Structure 1
Amino acid sequence: MLFWILTAALVAMIALLFGLALLRRHPEEETSTASYDVQVYRDQLSDLEKDRTRGVISPEEAERTKIEISRRMLEADRQERAGKDLGRRAGEAPRGATVAAFGVVVVLLGAAFAGYAVLGARGYGDMPIRQRFAEADTSYASRPSQDEAEKQAAASRGPAPAVDPKFAELMEKLRQAVAERPGDLEGLTLLARNEMAMGNFRAGYEAQKRLIAAKGDGATGEDYAQLGEDMVVAAGGLVTREAEAAFATALDKEPKNGLALYYIGLMMGQNGRPDRAFLLWDGLLRNTPADAPWNAPIRANIEELAWLAGEQNYTPPGTRGPSAADMANAAQMTPEERMQMIRGMVEQLNDRLASEGGPVEDWAKLVSSLRMLGDTGRADAIATEARSKFVSDKEALAKIDAATQAPVGAAMGPMGGGAPMAAPGAGAMPGPSAEDVQNAAEMSPEERQQMIRGMVDGLAERLTTEGGSAQEWARAVRSLAMLGDSGRAKEIYGKAQTALAGDAAALAMVQQAAEAAKVAP
């Protein structure tokens, strides 16, 4: 209440001063420049008379000078009188203008009160930059430990979803195999990923720690970044001190590791330093592939983060690939127009890789896309070029080899007389019959979606119970993700890793599909 009393008193005082300024008359006693000149001329006449008396100046010269001074004095006196008359006329503002000005003042003061009532925070102290930084440091230092954060996350997360009994049995066998062979790097990798996929987060990052210990000095920055991410997931999204230490080690080994930079930026944002978070995230958008897994969450938050960081006119760097409008237009195209658009996108990818280069995922995508378009000659040539660029990276070579197994002409659809359009990496499996296609054409969008969902569920069920090829696992992962069922897609991805354990090329193909669908851990 005291705040409003003081504020009202200040407003009343300001309004009073405005009113007095509008209503007061200009004082007539103010000495003008003309009156000062008159006084000067009078003094000159007095001095002139003294000089003539003393004989300093002749009577003729004194008379001429007196006439000139008198003329100037009369002119100054005329200007003085004219100024006083004008001052009397302008001394008081017109009544209408005074009332209007007073009304404007009242409206402005009232708007200030109303604006503060809506936007202000009475009793909230100032927040200078030093205080904000001090509070950010306090928040950073007082973060909960990994154990505390996991307990809080578990309480809010609720019970874990039920696990398929067969998958649980396979996981138990994997745990026993890793226990018998603690130095088995591939087994530890599979164990860490699948424990995370099952929701056993602590067991997942503990397995990742064992993997890093088994690798020793050979552990990469990516290994430590994965450990940090697993710990963040276990902590419900909070970057704890322990997770930060893992990311710091990752950056010591690989200063440009995108995953570690993303989570360090997230940590900055969580602890009141949006300025630092913005610099890290904006750098990732500009310097990493557009389909990098961290770019989607960055783009969803970067504009708000930029505003908090003081970047008022920030525009995120452009994305590569089709926009939402492009996809909407593609849905209305004829098959010929759609195929032309696809070829244009493939050529753009080819030109970018030729001029700028890119990650192995982009090279694999280009190879598989060219094969699906039926251009096997170019696909083989580009695969050879890609192998020369990643000759020392076995995992990258496996991804390129997997891309060379993409079905030829799968994207041609009815135009080429081949199979209906399929996702990259899809394998040969019985497709819909001509009768199925005819029935689908007569369905409503809801019925057609239900039919597609049934086909995908059937494929996933068959793979879970009977197993299948890498192409089929990849198709199931990608299809579930496209239907919006990311949770089931992650589950199928985890089962595929277990089912295809030991086959590097097959695992690479499934991993490529999971990364493209944004469901890879």
Structure 2
Amino acid sequence: MTFWVLIFLVALLIAAFLSFTLLRKRRGDEPAAAYDLRVYREQLSGVDRDLARGVIGEADAERVRTEISRRILAADEQMKKGGSGAGPSRTVSIVTIPVVMLIITGGAMAMYHRIGAVGLPDMPLTARLELAEEVRANRPSQSAAEELATPPQAAQLDENYASLLKQLRETVSARPDDLQGQMLLAQHETNSGNFKDGYSAQQRVIELSGDAATAEHYADFAEMMILAAGGYVSPEAEQALAEALKRDPHHGPARYYWGQMLVQTGRPDLAYRIWVETLREAPASAPWTGAIRDQIDELAFRAGVFNAPDLSAPSGPSREDMAAAAEMSPEERQQMIQGMVDQLSDRLATEGGAPEEWARLIAALGVLGQGQRAMDIHNEALEVFAGNTEALQIIDAAALQAGIAK
């Protein structure tokens, strides 16, 4: 109710200003013709002064006087007709006031009714954050989510594959402590669409691995639970993701699903930051990069980011660039490559980028014969991706290609 009262008062205030402007008596205003008369009379005096100084001749002075006199007569005629141009009549102004008020108040209410949240109370940022934490703390468990989720369609398995899967289940059931068997069972149950059986086997893999359980083990465990819940990230899946990120903070799939969890619990702002960073660090061929790019624009809007960089597509030369390069001379092509390398180097230095982009820059510098610069970029990339084993392998492979590997 407070919101509507405030809107109504603001509309009244604006209408009052407009009404004052429409109805106020324009003191000090005068018809345009009266101003013109003063100017023309001043011009006549100026003609006489110029004639006395000898600036103009008598014939020119007479011709100017005639023209000015004609204009004075026209302005005087306009004055007699009352052509003051003072604006609309008072009656028109009075009728206009309620129309303006109706447009302002009615338009504002109609716009809010269309794009606003009618009936909801004001929700400041602190209340939104508290609500997000409450949603995250009290959201449904894995089992509850599985009951609500639409059961996945049973996969149409090849007869031989179904027979092998049945044998695998029997073998693992007889040997529950066989780590390799549990890993195979988790993989094939998931491939068959039996996500619940898949994450049950994966949970056994983690138990058997003990302290040797890797980030990949926990990330796969979380993904199987998320698939079983129809894409919902439960508290149990969140815990598995947390374990994966604790072992490898740069693990791509875990970071992707962590962002999904933040979106589902009302924190798109945090999810956007994580996804942008993940996208910049991830290999271009990584399967989760496509999923992030498909959703990053909408997520940016929900996060209130309106100057977001274009991350909807991987960077690289377009077809037009490649066609133009084919028609260039060797010297022009070399200049173009150097320009693209410099542009990529500047962007990585200011905005960062994926490991493939750093690797491409290192390899390109090696081709251009700029070994020292390639070494400097390689050392910088090692610092940027410290702790990210997969990224470091890509960077080192590029250094080997550039001939600067140590």
TM over 0.5: yes
Q: Is the 8 A contact 1:223 1:250 kept in 2?
A: yes
Is residue 125 from structure 1 mapped to residue 121 from structure 2 by the alignment? yes
CA displacement at 1:108 relative to structure 2: 4.6
Paired position in structure 2 for 1:228: 222
Instruction: Quickly say closer, same or farther: Cα 1:305–1:9, change in 2 above 3 A.
Output: closer
Partners of 2:308 and 2:127 lie apart in 1 by 26
Task: Supply the distance in 2 between the matched residues of 1:224 and 1:283 (Cα, whole angstroms).
Answer: 21
Q: Runs of 5+ in structure 2 lacking a partner?
A: 29-83, 327-336, 338-355, 364-373
User: What is the aligned counterpart of 1:186 among 150, 156, 180?
Assistant: 180
Correspondence list, 1:61-460, <5 A: 94-96=86-88, 102=96, 105-106=100-101, 107-109=103-105, 111-153=107-149, 156-157=150-151, 159-317=153-311, 320=314, 326=319, 352=362, 355=378
Contact between 2:296 and 2:311, CA under 8 Å: does it hold in 1? no
Give percent identity, aligned residues only: 39
RMSD value over aligned CA atoms? 4.6
Q: Are 1:250 and 1:260, in contact at CA under 8 Å, matched by a contact in 2?
A: yes
Task: Please show how residues 456-471 of structure 1 align to structure 2 within 5 Å.
Answer: none
Q: Distance in 2 between matches of 1:140 and 1:347?
A: 36
| Secondary structure of the structure 1 residue equivalent to 2:306 | coil
SS at match of 1:239: coil
Greater displacement, 222-231 / 3-12: 3-12
- In the comparison of the two structures, how many residue pairs are matched? 296
Cα shift readout 1:144-165 (whole Å, capped 9, x = no counterpart): 1111111112xx2354233222
In structure 2, the CA distance between the partners of 1:301 and 1:108, relative to structure 1 (3 Å rule), is same
Opposite residue 137 of structure 2, the aligned amino acid is: A
Q: Superposition pairs for residues 33-52 of structure 1, below 5 Å? A: none
Task: Classify the secondary structure of the residue corresponding to 1:94.
Answer: coil
CA distance in 2, matches of 1:135, 1:5: 26
Q: Supply the distance in 2 between the matched residues of 1:127 and 1:3 (Cα, whole angstroms).
A: 12
Shift of 1:308: 1.8
1:15 aligns with 2:15: yes
Is contact 1:290–1:319 with CA below 8 Å preserved after alignment?
A: no
What is the CA-CA distance between 1:319 and the residue it aligns to? 5.3
Cα distance change, pair 173–250 in 1 and its aligned pair in 2 (3 A): same
- Compared with structure 1, are the counterparts of its residues 157 and 310 closer, same or farther at alpha carbon in structure 2 (3 Å cutoff)? same
Q: Residue 136 and residue 23 in structure 1: after superposition, are their counterparts in 2 closer, same or farther (change >3 A)?
A: same
CA contact (8 A) 2:281 2:391 kept: no
Note closer, same or farther for the CA distance 1:348–1:273 as it changes in structure 2 (3 Å cut): closer
TM-score, normalising length: structure 1: 0.47
SS in 2 for 1:294: helix
Please give the alpha-carbon distance, in whole angstroms, between the structure 2 residues aligned to 1:177 and 1:361: 38
Cα distance per residue 1:125-150 (max 9 Å; x no partner): 21211221122122112211111111
CA 244–118 in structure 1, closer or farther in 2 if over 3 Å, else same:
closer
Which letter maps to 2:221? Answer: L
Question: For the structure 1 residues 131 and 14, does the alpha-carbon distance in structure 2 shift closer, same or farther, using more than 3 Å as the test?
Answer: same
* Cα 1:197–1:100 shift into 2, 3 Å: farther
- Cα shift at 1:110: 5.2
Output the CA distance in 1 between the equivalents of 2:219 and 2:357. Answer: 34
Distance 2:361 2:5 in 1: 70
Conservation of the 8 A alpha-carbon contact between 2:226 and 2:237: yes
1:68-94 alpha-carbon deviations (Å, 9 max, x no partner): xxxxxxxxxxxxxxxxxxxxxxxx993
C-alpha spacing 1:347/1:121, structure 2 compared with 1 (3 Å): closer
Q: Deviations over 1:90-116 (max 9, x none)?
A: xx9934287579579455555434433
Partners of 1:194 and 1:361 lie apart in 2 by 28
Q: Which of the two has higher C-alpha Rg?
A: 1
1:394-413 per-residue CA deviation (whole Å, 9 max, x = no partner) reads xxxxxxxxxxxxxxxxxxxx
C-alpha distance in 2 between matches for 1:135 and 1:175? 44
Whose RCO is larger (CA < 8 A, sep 6+)? 2
Cα contact 1:221–1:257 (8 A) shared by 2: yes
Partner of 2:334: none
Residues 136 and 271, structure 1, Cα contact 8 Å, conserved in 2? yes
Quick one: structure 1 residues 191 and 272, their matched pair in 2 at CA, closer, same or farther if it must change by over 3 Å? Answer: same
TM-score, normalised by the number of residues in structure 2: 0.59
Distance 1:175 1:225 in 2: 23
Equivalent position of 1:418 in the other structure: none
How far the C-alpha of 1:299 sits from its partner, in A, is 1.0
Q: Which amino acid aligns with 1:249?
A: E
- What is the Cα deviation at residue 326 of structure 1? 3.8
Q: Which amino acid aligns with 1:131?
A: A
Q: What is the CA deviation profile of residues 420-441 of structure 1, one whole-angstrom value per residue up to 9, with x for unaligned ones?
A: xxxxxxxxxxxxxxxxxxxxxx
Q: CA deviation at 1:270?
A: 0.4
